[in-house]
């Protein structure tokens, strides 16, 4: 639980959001949280097919990009976003929550793990591998990714859960620089749920990790 709770607002988009528009919105919102004390925000959306490069991205991991590639200030390497993937951008004032970045990342992981558990999916952390991992076809695969940025103790960017994206689109990159393991989705794991059901699980799980939302 957090040291100090602050109101969190939720916003859900019904149609895919262009990546440059999303980044501009997050930067403006983070500034408003920092400078004017606006409420924290969790923004749920999808993107059209695209790749993003984090601050640790290696150009050699950009194999055959079939979609636009965006440089971004979040941590991590290359990842894919597209329809069927729930992106949750989290804009929080960490100064109101203990100013502990390591704990924030842990809490994001726990939020994902707890939300997946609603659907009897056993996700977990792995040493040396960012994201949330599951057993899939006798191996391990990533089902959710994490990439954040913090400016003056206000967070933005966030997490992405693969509900039912086109997994072949990952073939244009080495996801997160990890060649030994693949990516999967809830649908590939046999979990037949809607995006709205996933959103409800994310909202229900939030309170136990970050504190109550209105």
Q: List, by residue number, the catalytic residues.
A: 176
Rounded to whole angstroms, how far apart are CA atoms 151 and 122? 33
- In order, the DSSP letters of 98-147 are TS-HHHHHHHHHHHHHHHHHTTT---EEETTEEEEEEEETTEEEEEEEEE
Exposed, middle or buried: residue 69 (CB in 10 Å: 0-12, 13-18, 19+)?
middle
Cβ neighbors of 102 (< 8 A, separation 6 or more) are none
Q: Looking at the DSSP assignment, which residues form a beta bridge with residue 156?
A: 149
């Amino acid at each position: 639980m957090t040291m100090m709770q602050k109101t969190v607002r939720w916003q859900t988009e019904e149609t895919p959001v262009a990546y440059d528009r999303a980044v501009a919105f997050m930067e403006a919102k983070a500034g408003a949280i920092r400078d004017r004390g606006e409420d924290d925000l969790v923004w749920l959306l999808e993107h059209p097919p695209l790749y993003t490069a984090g601050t640790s991205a290696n150009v050699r991991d950009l194999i055959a990009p079939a979609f636009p590639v965006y440089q971004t200030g979040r941590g991590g390497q290359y990842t894919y976003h597209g329809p069927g993937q729930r992106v949750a951008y989290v804009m929080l004032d960490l100064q109101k929550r203990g100013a502990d970045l390591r704990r924030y990342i842990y809490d994001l992981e726990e939020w994902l793990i707890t939300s997946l558990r609603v659907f009897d999916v056993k996700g977990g952390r792995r040493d040396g591998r960012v994201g949330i991992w599951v057993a899939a076809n006798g191996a391990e695969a990533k089902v959710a990714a994490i990439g954040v940025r913090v400016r003056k103790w206000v967070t933005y960017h966030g997490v992405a859960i693969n509900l039912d994206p086109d997994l072949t689109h990952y073939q244009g990159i080495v996801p997160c620089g990890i060649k030994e393991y693949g990516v999967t989705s809830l649908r590939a794991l046999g979990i037949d749920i809607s995006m709205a059901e996933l959103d409800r699980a994310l909202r229900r799980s939030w309170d136990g990790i970050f504190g109550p939302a209105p």
